[in-house]
Structure 1
Amino acid sequence: MDLSRLRALRELSIRKTMAAAAEALRVTPSAVSQAIAQLEDELGIDLVERRGRGVELTPAGRQLVQRAERVLIELEAAHADIADMKKIVAGQLRVAAFPSIAAALIAGTIHDLVRLHPQLSVQFDEMEPTESLAALRGWQVDIAVIDDLNVPPGAIDPGIQTKPLIEDVFNVMVSRDHPLAGQPSAALSDLRNERWALDTASPAYNRMINEACQAAGFNPNIVARCKGFEVTIALIREGYGISILPGLRASYDLEDVWVCRLTPEIRRRISLAFRKGEKLPPAIAAFVTQLESRIGRRAIPSGAAPLG
């Protein structure tokens, strides 16, 4: 049986629709449908059945997914064994991470890694945590950097292993001529009359901001919804809006912006995620070692702390 077809069936068992499975696998829905049809023809039995707009696996489909999980884990372990026998960190490592940690820690880690292991090639993709976790499940990346704001612990598949990395706090960011500039901290209730600029890349982040403000007794006056950090921070610099952003963002590119601690604190836990196996492949183990070394060497952003 073709592994790509088994992966398509496995993703369909998680995603429930051809379109969602295709998005996670970065193929077209017709490619997923064709892969399932080819598996069914090969085995001579129905593996999925239509349920409204989605699909459900038949008993045969569910059993095949369970078997496929074991096969994929064994293949991952075999790759790790062979690489370990070579005693060389080589080949390609595929890493996915969200923007704030990618800029603060991952970029430097990749640079250090390829300098120490010149036979290793690293492919990096910027992805939000839910997207990178889906790519990990679909075998499109080898390491995903996730957080518990976007990916609650209960949402992680049994076949995925996680390693705590760092705890990050959220800070208030205002312009240098804002009344809060110069203050070490600000209460969320102090921000009820402010104009807010939000980075909309993460729905979970936006939901967290709105729920926190509502718990403090107000709805934030959102005057700007931005698709990235650059525009958000530009609006803050100009004094048009304020925002609450991760502490990792406070570690770079913040000229003309004042950062103060938010009270009460809002924290997130950042972790590495990779597929389970008997041992870590050498390239992943080397990445983890280098990332932890970089965290240990650098000044941790305000309120952040390494985990482990």
Structure 2
Amino acid sequence: MDFARLRTLRELSLRKTMAAVAEALLISPSAVSQQIAQLEDETGVELVERRGRGVRLTPAGQRLADHAGRVIGVLAEAKTDLAELKKTIAGELRVSAFPSVAASLIPPTIRAMSARFPDLATIFEELEPDDSLAALRAWQTDVAVVDDLTTSASLSETQVEMLHLLDDHLHVLLPHDHPLAERPHLTLPELATERWVLDTTSATYADVIVGACRNAGFDPIVNARCHSFEVVRAMVEAGCSVSINPGLRGRDHIGNLRLKEIKPIITRRIFAAFRTGERRNPAIAAFVGELQTLATSMTARR
């Protein structure tokens, strides 16, 4: 059976839609459909059920996708074994992280790695945590930086190892002249009558904010939903809204706005994730070690 077609089927089992598979593999949706059809011809069994605009793997399709996952896993393990035996750090390392963490952790880590290992090329892709974990399971990234607040999947799954890096606290973002701007900290009920702007780049993150407000006894009055922090910041700066900002974005990214700690504290835990057993790979071990060192220094400066 053709390996590329098996990989496409495996991706479909993870990502659920032809469009998502096409985006992940950098091919067209029609090419994805064609590869699945060719694999069905090759195996002589129906692998997917087409339901309206969506598809679902048949029992045979899911079983073959599971086999494909094990084959890809064995090849990845062989690659790790060879890298461990060579004991050299070279080639390409693929890394993913979500925006508010990526801006703080990824550039200095890549800079440190480039200085120590000039023969290693680190390739970074900005992905939300769930997408990062999907890319990790599909062997499309080697290290994924994720959190436990916006990740819908279990962080204890056997395919992936998690290494805790640091904790981040969420903060209220206010205009500089807001009546509450001089308070040392705020509670969410104090913001019940405010208008809110939500960063909907990650739907899960927006749901976390709405859920926190509801747990505090009110539904936030949302007057803006934005797909970038720049627009969120502009809405708050103009006095149109308040928002909640990850602490890691820091004061360097908010201009003259006010960042206020929330009481009680809302914490998210940040992890480096990699496939089980692959910390034996010298490049992965070195990158994760640099992440740990940076995270430790950031925690000490707080």
**Common fold: TM-score over 0.5:** yes
Q: Do residues 22 (structure 1) and 22 (structure 2) align?
A: yes
Residues 149, 27 of structure 1: alpha-carbon distance in 2 compared, 3 angstrom cutoff:
farther
Q: Sequence identity, in percent?
A: 50
1:130 to partner: Cα distance: 2.0
Question: Partner residue of 2:97?
Answer: 97
- Aligned-partner Cα distance in 1 for 2:39–2:301: 50
1:282 to partner: Cα distance: 1.5
- Aligned-partner Cα distance in 1 for 2:22–2:191: 42
Residues 213, 25 of structure 1: alpha-carbon distance in 2 compared, 3 angstrom cutoff:
same
Letter in 2 for 1:22: A
Q: In terms of mean alpha carbon deviation, does 93-102 or 206-215 score higher?
A: 206-215
Q: Is the 8 A contact 1:164 1:270 kept in 2?
A: yes
1:283 to partner: Cα distance: 1.3
- Aligned-partner Cα distance in 1 for 2:203–2:56: 27
For residues 227-266 of structure 1, the aligned pairs below 5 Å read 227-250=227-250, 252-266=252-266
Q: Is the 8 A contact 1:226 1:232 kept in 2?
A: yes
Question: Partner residue of 2:145?
Answer: 145
- Aligned-partner Cα distance in 2 for 1:56–1:148: 28
Q: In terms of mean alpha carbon deviation, does 13-22 or 290-299 score higher?
A: 13-22
Letter in 2 for 1:147: D
Q: Is the 8 A contact 1:195 1:220 kept in 2?
A: yes
- Aligned-partner Cα distance in 2 for 1:181–1:300: 26
RMSD over equivalenced CA pairs, Å:
2.3
1:268 to partner: Cα distance: 1.6
Residues 146, 32 of structure 1: alpha-carbon distance in 2 compared, 3 angstrom cutoff:
same
1:243 to partner: Cα distance: 1.2
Q: Secondary structure at the match of 2:280?
A: coil
Q: Secondary structure at the match of 1:149?
A: coil
For residues 98-113 of structure 1, the aligned pairs below 5 Å read 98-113=98-113
Question: Partner residue of 1:185?
Answer: 185
1:147 to partner: Cα distance: 1.7
1:262 to partner: Cα distance: 0.6
Residues 275, 19 of structure 1: alpha-carbon distance in 2 compared, 3 angstrom cutoff:
same
Letter in 1 for 2:31: A
- Aligned-partner Cα distance in 2 for 1:103–1:168: 14
1:171 to partner: Cα distance: 0.7
Residues 231, 58 of structure 1: alpha-carbon distance in 2 compared, 3 angstrom cutoff:
closer
1:251 to partner: Cα distance: 5.2
Q: Is the 8 A contact 2:90 2:283 kept in 1?
A: yes
- Aligned-partner Cα distance in 1 for 2:50–2:233: 47
Residues 282, 58 of structure 1: alpha-carbon distance in 2 compared, 3 angstrom cutoff:
same
Q: Secondary structure at the match of 2:140?
A: coil
- Aligned-partner Cα distance in 1 for 2:264–2:79: 47
1:119 to partner: Cα distance: 0.2
Provide, for residues 267-303 of structure 1, a one-character-per-residue CA deviation record: whole Å limited to 9, x for no partner.
222222222336532111111000101112234686x
- Aligned-partner Cα distance in 2 for 1:231–1:155: 31
Question: Partner residue of 2:173?
Answer: 173
Q: Which runs of 5+ in 1 are unaligned?
A: 303-308
Number of matched pairs? 302
Q: Secondary structure at the match of 1:154?
A: coil
Q: Is the 8 A contact 2:150 2:208 kept in 1?
A: no
Q: Do residues 269 (structure 1) and 269 (structure 2) align?
A: yes
Residues 55, 240 of structure 1: alpha-carbon distance in 2 compared, 3 angstrom cutoff:
closer
